[in-house]
Structure 1
Amino acid sequence: MIFPVVLGVRGAVNGVLSGRLTTGLHTGLVEASLRGNTRYYRMLLSSVFALSLVSSATIGLIVFSIGNVFYGVPLGDLPFIIYACVTINALAVFITAPITSLLGFLSYRRGMDPDIFVYPASSTVADILATVCYVITLSLVFWWGPAGRIAIALVSYGFCFIALLLTVLFGKEREYWRTIREALMAVFAVGIIEGLSGAVLSGVKAYIERYPSILVIYPALIDTVGDAGSIFGSLSTTRLALGTLDARMGAIKGGLGELLQVEIAALMMYAIYSGIAFIGEGSEACALAIILVYLIATLPIILASFSMAILTFTRGLDPDNFVIPIEMAFADSLVTSVLAMLVYLRVV
């Protein structure tokens, strides 16, 4: 129960960091260097640490509440669940934050657009590392017993101390509290979306599991659609910050060329997935179903990310705190729903 929720929160936090970092590089608020960077960059990292702590502790409470109501998880397990959630995210953020930053710095230095490169690359790395951190944390508990529980408790308290220290250093910055406040809204929205979709789609996913080849590429289907939305959304938030994009829905006409490029890139990936499904299942219908997922899901997610950027910006919010985390959660739900619907309707 913990793993998918923690993975979603980790992805949301990394989405906030990626969005703010790439926009900061374009606007000059962030230098393309890990050392000697701006105070804004240090404030951004500090707020990400605090965000990880608060969101993981809250998610731990939510996981326990669900487990207690539906599975009879005893109250005595509450500290362990919170420690586990905090430890997983603490280990992950210490590794993924520098990696995401380096990807942004290197791409910017080499003349690449970090809006296009950073989140798709860092999200894959972050998911892998979060999984490793999850395995390490549970291994400590189940292999070391009481000593393992003490270990994750110490890691949790250490992370709390670091987050509090960073809050003392940057707590006077209005942007620090704005980032935490707005990003927490996005993280909780992601938790609600994934929780509801998980409950509603849990039975639906059984249809997908009938086809092993599709099940293998299923995570890639979600990531590709989500990455398409994150790229266009990140490009939009940067242009809003630079003042080169009007904050109205009609302004999307100016980005039709980039939208088409993103669509073509996603289509190329889906063509590969379609080929894998055809080879694995020996069915043209399976290959067609993958292409239909692309046709049905990709454009709505891209448009949703653009709409979210415009909506949050016009409301006086920072769109980078919302766009990537929420559109990735929507992509997960939409791709799963479409794919399951196609299987249920025997298109496959």
Structure 2
Amino acid sequence: MTVREVAVEAYREALPALGASLVGGLLAGVVLGGMRADLRAVEGLLVLVPALLATRGNVYGSLGARLATGLHQGLIEPRVRAGDPRLRAAAAAALVNGIFTSLFAATAVFAILSTFGMPVAALGRLLGIALVAGLLSGATLVAVVVTVVFAGYRRGHNPDTLVGPLVTTTGDVFGVLFLLIAVRTVALVLGGA
């Protein structure tokens, strides 16, 4: 293949994913903009948002990369099979990592804001929000990553090209949406705003 052919193929595969990423980022911004009252009600939540969103892309992007590598090496088949230990282990590891990273981020936000004497919600409230948001977005992202990687591979696309933009976008959109759900769920359970 010539350099031009490689470039054309890369753009052909990447442009739809990047377009979806742009639209998804705008949707996430709309949801985040609608969370103003929730962001004000839970002190420190605004500091936590970037950390939670970044971990979604990092953790589940790694899952996508592992799956893509497994497909390229012939270690896994591009379909979900009950009892596939490699796929199950990779998905479980990503979900656990995502949840623990969310809990760590909430603890770090609490510690940093407390150290600097800045207002911050109770640690239990931040941990509850991080746990609910991490669990909901993690389960969704595992399903999206597996679906996108396998479907793209079966259609002849390089899954590595698809994973980055789509996982990041899905993580942003669902991350913000599930953060909103988490804030309101924890408020119902723990009481308060």
- Show the counterpart of 1:54: 100
Residue 146 of structure 2 corresponds to residue 146 of structure 1? no
Q: How far apart, CA to CA, are the structure 1 residues paired with 2:185 and 2:88?
A: 31
Where 1:64 maps in the other structure, the secondary structure is helix
Q: Is 1:64–1:78's contact at 8 Å kept on the other side of the alignment?
A: yes
Query: Displacement, 1:82?
Result: 1.4
Q: Is 2:64–2:163's contact at 8 Å kept on the other side of the alignment?
A: yes
Query: Displacement, 1:130?
Result: 0.4
Q: Is 1:141–1:148's contact at 8 Å kept on the other side of the alignment?
A: no
Of 142, 148, 162, 1:103 maps to: 148
Residue 72 of structure 2 corresponds to residue 21 of structure 1? no
What CA deviation, in whole Å up to 9, does each residue of 1:40-82 have, x standing for no partner? 11111111122122212211111101111224446x8111111
Distance 1:148 1:30, change over 3 A: farther
What CA deviation, in whole Å up to 9, does each residue of 1:213-251 have, x standing for no partner? xxxxxxxxxxxxxxxxxxxxxxxxxxxxxxxxxxxxxxx
Residue 78 of structure 2 corresponds to residue 32 of structure 1? yes
Q: How far apart, CA to CA, are the structure 1 residues paired with 2:66 and 2:183?
A: 32
- Show the counterpart of 2:111: 65
Q: How far apart, CA to CA, are the structure 2 residues paired with 1:47 and 1:93?
A: 11
Where 1:131 maps in the other structure, the secondary structure is helix
What CA deviation, in whole Å up to 9, does each residue of 1:278-324 have, x standing for no partner? xxxxxxxxxxxxxxxxxxxxxxxxxxxxxxxxxxxxxxxxxxxxxxx
Query: Displacement, 1:146?
Result: 2.7
Residue 121 of structure 2 corresponds to residue 80 of structure 1? no
Q: What stretches of structure 2 of length at least 5 have no aligned partner?
A: 1-46
Q: Is 2:55–2:102's contact at 8 Å kept on the other side of the alignment?
A: yes
Superposed CA RMSD: 2.1
**Bigger relative CO (Cα 8 Å, ≥ 6 apart):** 2
- Show the counterpart of 2:8: none
Distance 1:87 1:71, change over 3 A: farther
TM-score, L = length of structure 1: 0.39
- Show the counterpart of 1:123: 168
Of 136, 143, 147, 2:181 maps to: 136
Q: Is 2:128–2:186's contact at 8 Å kept on the other side of the alignment?
A: no
Q: What stretches of structure 1 of length at least 5 have no aligned partner?
A: 150-348
Where 2:164 maps in the other structure, the secondary structure is helix
* Matched residue type, 2:96: A
Query: Displacement, 1:118?
Result: 2.3
Equivalent residue pairs, number: 147
Q: Is 1:49–1:93's contact at 8 Å kept on the other side of the alignment?
A: yes
| Greater than 3 Å deviation, 4+ residue runs | 71-74
Where 1:118 maps in the other structure, the secondary structure is helix
Q: How far apart, CA to CA, are the structure 2 residues paired with 1:87 and 1:146?
A: 13
Identity of counterpart residues, as a percentage? 27
Q: How far apart, CA to CA, are the structure 2 residues paired with 1:56 and 1:116?
A: 26
- Show the counterpart of 1:113: 158
